[in-house]
Amino acid sequence: MATATTDLAAFIRGLPKAELHLHLEGTLEPALKFALASRNGIELAESTVAEVEATYQFHDLTSFLQVYYPAMRVLQQAQDFHDLAFAYLTRAHADGVRHVEMFFDPQAHTSRGVRFDTVISGYRSAIVQARREFGMSAELIMCFLRDQSAEYAMATLMEALPYKEWIIGVGLDSDERGNPPSKFAEVFARARREGFLLTMHCDIDQDNSIEHIRQALEDIGVDRIDHGTNIIENDALVELARSRGIAFTCCPVSNSFVTQSGKSEEILTLLNRGILVTVNSDDPSYFGAYAADNYVALTNSAEVTIDQVVALAKNSFQASWISTARRDAFLLEVDRYVGDNT
Ligand code: ADE
Ligand code: ZN
């Protein structure tokens, strides 16, 4: 049994896991931001890493997004998107991440004149390189920006159709206030007909959180929910999510930035109630925590047993959009790791 804190952190880092809630644009580290700005002849207001980090003053989702979206202007060419994704995949590999399903926000780029195929071809080549070099698997989930119109989301879905083979599912992110799931019902229905799997953010402690979770589950029929721990306030919805095996991709460190609480107790209560909760990093460069750091943060902020840590890692594979054969192989890998390290 791993006991000391450092042993536990090392155990967590080596534990095979999948990451299911990761925004590629949220992995932009300040050093890479400077390199890309220089490559593309873009002048930045900040000139040191410390100056960039000083702009990370988040107290809620909106204040985070106000810093997050403008930073993306350094991403211009396919090589930039490749470098961003490959840097993340390299970092995740070191954290025991064996499989990752990564969000990207095409509209954050097409809206400033970068072509859809520039974005996706850069991300795709990084995935192929990570598979070749680390044996790691990665998929893309295309998110629509919920503070933009449903028409723009539908047009983006149409633009993505030629790249279907490279996109496993669609999601919904950005500012939830006043932008309920129902706004995108038609877009998600079309995405489903096109064969995409469905997920969407139900961010923490939003206005109408419960109604948004209800719409996602009952009206849209999502396969997963990103965040969504407010479901704990409604027993009937918890039971619905449990009976359907709906996964919740939780992000403790992100939670602590945008709501001042990691929501660890909620995550563990849902785990104990049989909900498929997973631990993820959301926007690791902004919140200073990659996959393993989020597991460690959870264990630091609540009473968590090794068995619960292992259950969370297993959940990450159970909730992944992979074949049954690969899922079984990953679960066996977890069991072997636990057997060798406890
Ligand atoms: N974009 C990046 N991270 C996000 C989050 N946690 N919620 C909504 N939109 C996001
Ligand atoms: Zn997110």
2-9 average pLDDT score: 72
% of the chain beyond a pLDDT of 90: 96
Judge if the beta carbon of residue 61 lies within 6 A of ligand 1: yes
Judge if the beta carbon of residue 171 lies within 6 A of ligand 1: no
Beta bridge partners of 171: 143
Question: Whose CA is closest to 176, among 110, 112, 227, 223?
Answer: 227
Q: Please report which residue ranges of 94-208 form alpha helices under DSSP H.
A: 107-110, 116-134, 150-160, 185-193
CA atoms of 253 and 72, how far apart (whole Å): 22
4 pLDDT above the threshold of 80: no
**What band does 5 get if pLDDT is binned at 50, 70 and 90?**
low
pTM > 0.95: yes
Q: Which pLDDT value is given to residue 278?
A: 98
The amino acid at residue 4 is A
Tell me: the pLDDT tens digits for 67-121? 999 999 999 999 999 999 999 999 999 999 999 999 999 999 999 999 999 999 9
Write down the CATH superfamily of domain 6-341: Metal-dependent hydrolases (3.20.20.140)
| Probe residue for ligand 1, chosen from 21, 23, 25, 206 as the CB with the greatest number of ligand atoms within 8 Å | 23
Q: How far is the CA of 303 from the centre of ligand 2 (A)?
A: 25
| Probe residue for ligand 1, chosen from 22, 69, 203 as the CB with the greatest number of ligand atoms within 8 Å | 203
CA atoms of 146 and 199, how far apart (whole Å): 13
Angle between helices 78-93 and 116-134 (to 10 degrees): 30
309-324 average pLDDT score: 98
Q: How far is the CA of 64 from the centre of ligand 1 (A)?
A: 8
129 pLDDT above the threshold of 50: yes
Tell me: the pLDDT tens digits for 206-265? 999 999 999 999 999 999 999 999 999 999 999 999 999 999 999 999 999 999 899 999
Whose Cα sits closest to atom 6 in ligand 1?
Answer: 282
CA atoms of 239 and 334, how far apart (whole Å): 28
Q: What is the mean pLDDT of the chain?
A: 96
- Closest ligand by atom to 254 CA: 1
Q: Which pLDDT value is given to residue 1?
A: 42
Q: Please report which residue ranges of 15-139 form alpha helices under DSSP H.
A: 30-39, 49-54, 61-71, 78-93, 107-110, 116-134
Judge if the beta carbon of residue 284 lies within 6 A of ligand 1: no
Residue ranges per domain, the chain?
A: 6-341
Contact yes or no for 249/226 (Cβ under 8 A): yes
Nearest-atom index, ligand 1, CA of 258: 6
Both tokens of residue 252? 């403790």
